[in-house]
């Protein structure tokens, strides 16, 4: 916050004990502690709907319980942006968004977001109540959203929040060998960090690193600057546990990419360059 960051992204399911052992609300509680006395300076985004043992939940009763739990964990009296984390296949989106619209009326949340929602769902949701933001993975090596999601969002006037904008750490130049994988990130869950995919992806990332060296910025800054250059309504949310990396990543705002730079990057990192699916 001292560096001017205002948007903080969490979820009821995020925990600080490691993704696989998390407990509900752990990360929200941590964020709530940090917000003490500075709530007004922050835009707080949190999410509901992914559970440990009940699948995905988006029914009215579940949402009403979840929002109160998140408000309690965060220690705040309203959430700025409340996302449905994943779609509940058993609850029509109209019912979910209708319930969220009630929460807006009650003042418990200010804006509604969807995460990993396909275009038809976004359109249906938006007719019930304006959707403010969609959050889905997007980075130099995960560009699926360019096909249909981004054009639909620009048409509807909805913002886009790219998650894992650093390719879960790959687009930083810091991962060259398996030993470099951070113990605090569940890399083992993702095929791109395994076996021959890993080898290929290290090579692909090294080309991006070379271009960053040429531009005089770090690889992470280049990856974020590239995202920022894709549209004014794009707000990437890089994750890190280290203050010096927060500072480094914020330096992306100073990296200006020309049309020629973007064309060069298109050659170095064309769509589909990553080896292995994104999950
Ligand atoms: N909606 C969803 O379903 C969803 C899914 C995933 C993530 N998200 C959101 O998106 C946020 C970011 O995504 P993410 O954490 O998955 O991936 P990310 O931001 O692409 O990458 C995070 C990884 O990069 C490392 N890192 C960060 N800055 C670095 C730098 N300058 N140099 C070297 N390494 C650096 C971090 O390690 P250190 O921590 O050790 O610095 C961490 O391992 C999450 O915090 C979460 O809020 C949402």
Question: Tens-digit pLDDT profile for the chain (279 aa)?
Answer: 999 999 999 999 998 554 444 568 999 999 999 999 999 999 999 999 998 778 899 999 999 999 999 999 999 999 999 999 999 999 999 999 999 999 999 999 999 999 999 999 999 999 999 999 999 999 999 999 999 999 999 999 999 999 999 999 999 999 999 989 988 788 888 999 999 999 999 999 999 999 999 999 999 999 999 999 999 999 999 999 999 999 999 999 999 999 999 999 999 999 999 999 988
For atom 48 of ligand 1, the residue with the nearest CA is 163
Q: Which residues pair with 44 in a beta bridge?
A: 8
Cβ contact 48:84 at 8 Å: yes
Distance CA 190, CA 115 (A): 19
Q: Which tokens go with 49?
A: 């709907």
Domain spans in the chain, listed from the N-terminal domain onward = 1-131, 165-232+242-279
**Closest Cα to atom 15, ligand 1: which residue?**
239
Burial of 157 (0-12, 13-18, 19+ CB in 10 A): exposed
Residue 67, helix vs strand vs coil:
helix
The response to whether residue 168 sits with its C-beta less than 6 Å from ligand 1 reads yes
**Nearest Cα residue to 28 out of 19, 41, 18, 15:** 15
Instruction: For residue 11, give the ligand 1 atom closest to its CA.
Output: 47
Give the H or E element holding residue 203: helix 195-215
182 CB near ligand 1 (under 6 Å): yes
Q: Rounded to 10 degrees, what is the CA torsion of 130, 136, 140, 146?
A: -50
Examine the residue annotation and report whether 14 is marked as an active-site residue of this protein: yes
The Å distance, Cα 207 to ligand 1 centre, comes to: 21
Asked whether 182 and 239 are in contact (CB, 8 A), the reply is no
Nearest ligand 1 atom, CA 242: 41
- Of 208, 239, 245, the residue with max ligand 1 atoms within 8 A of its CB, to mutate for a pocket test, comes to 239
Look up the CATH superfamily of 1-131: NADP-dependent oxidoreductase domain (3.20.20.100)
The number of the ligand 1 atom at minimal distance from the alpha carbon of 167 is 20
């Amino acid at each position: 916050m001292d560096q001017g960051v205002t948007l903080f992204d969490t979820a009821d399911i995020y925990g600080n004990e490691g993704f696989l052992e998390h407990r509900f609300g752990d990360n929200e509680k941590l964020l709530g502690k940090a917000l003490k006395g500075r709530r007004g300076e922050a835009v707080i985004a949190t999410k509901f709907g992914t559970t440990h043992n009940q699948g995905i939940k988006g029914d009215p009763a579940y949402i009403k319980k979840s929002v109160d739990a998140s408000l309690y964990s965060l220690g705040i009296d309203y959430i700025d942006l409340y996302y449905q984390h994943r779609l509940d296949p058993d609850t029509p989106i109209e019912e979910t968004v209708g319930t969220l619209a009630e929460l807006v009326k009650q003042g418990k949340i200010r804006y509604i977001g969807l995460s990993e929602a396909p275009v038809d769902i976004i359109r249906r949701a938006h007719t019930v109540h304006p959707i403010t933001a969609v959050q889905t993975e997007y980075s130099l090596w995960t560009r699926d959203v360019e096909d249909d999601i981004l054009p639909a969002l620009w048409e509807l006037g909805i913002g886009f929040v790219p998650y894992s904008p650093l390719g879960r750490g790959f687009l930083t130049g810091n991962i060259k060998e398996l030993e470099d994988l951070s113990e605090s990130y569940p890399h083992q869950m993702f095929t791109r960090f395994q076996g021959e995919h890993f080898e290929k992806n290290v090579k692909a990332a090294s080309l991006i690193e070379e271009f960053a060296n040429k531009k005089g910025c770090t690889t992470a800054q280049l990856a974020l600057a590239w995202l920022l250059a894709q549209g004014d309504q794009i707000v990437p949310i890089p994750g890190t546990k280290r203050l010096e990396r927060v500072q480094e990543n914020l330096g992306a705002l100073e990296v200006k990419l020309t049309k020629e730079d973007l064309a060069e990057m298109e050659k170095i990192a064309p769509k589909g360059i990553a080896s292995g699916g994104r999950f």
